[in-house]
Amino acid sequence: MVQFSLWDIFTFLLGALRWTVALSLIAFIGGGLVGMGLLLLRFSKLRAAATAVAWYVQIFQGTPLLMQLFLVYFGLALLGMDTSPLVSAAICLTLYASAYLTEIWRGCVNAIPKGQWEASTSLALNFTQQMRHVILPQALRVAIAPTVGFLVQIIKGTALASVIGFVELTKAGQMISNATYQPFLAYTFVGLLYFALCYPLSWWSQRLENRRLA
């Protein structure tokens, strides 16, 4: 039987951690872009679009991420698309993140006093100009802390991508566990690596929040 040293385990997991980071970044950046588009629709005068976005958010918030992953993974296959686990996971997590981010940012936009909308309206700015130059720059300050906080949720959410066969940190831990028969050791390493990734972000988010309230 092949023996694995702790160092072997660690480097293998570290390799897999790169995929966790990659998937998180794809979901965060993709979700941010989609979420920003949804946010604009949410506040536009297009009533139907705003309602559709509200439902989109409710659907993603009201179902487990695990189920969303299954639906996207098997759904894309049904549509005849030849999907890899990475593509499925990236699409699903992007949509998931977009729903949550758009909702977080909606709250931040709502925190901007009505007078800012009225003043910019009375200066004849159109909706896009108001958003771009008046509302979003102010909402951004409020949004940074909860947005960074949500990035932590995304990182932990990528663990679920292991169930559709994507080899990221959790899946790698599973493989190590199967090969070494030492599940506790394997998952301890996995847990420590997640923590090493998430804790600095949580700490940073907390600090941003405190600074904003100071």
Give the Cα separation of 48 and 122 in Å (integer).
Answer: 26
Q: Which amino acid is at 80?
A: G
137 vs 191 by CB, closer to another protein: 137
Residue positions counted in the chain: 214
Q: Closer to another protein at the Cβ: 61 or 129?
A: 129
Sites of contact with another protein (CB under 8 A): 45, 113, 115-116, 118-126, 129, 133-134, 137-138, 141
Structure-block tokens of residue 168: 């990221």
Q: Closer CB to another protein, residue 138 or residue 202? A: 138
Q: Distances in Å between the alpha carbon of 104 and those of 68, 149, 190, 198, 213?
A: 20, 11, 29, 19, 18
Q: How many CA atoms lie within 13 A of 105 on its CB side?
A: 30
Cβ closer to another protein: 58 or 129?
129
Q: Among all chains, which residue has been given the structure tokens 């996207």?
A: 72
CB of 130 to another protein, least distance (A): 9
Q: Where are the beta strands (DSSP E) in 59-157?
A: none
**Residue 213 beta carbon to another protein: minimum distance, rounded to whole angstroms:** 16
**Tally: H helices and E strands in the chain:** 9, 0
Contact 122, 110 (CB under 8 A): no
- The two structure tokens encoding residue 64: 């487990």
Nearer to another protein, 136 or 160 (CB): 136
Nearest distance, CB of residue 22 and another protein, angstroms? 34
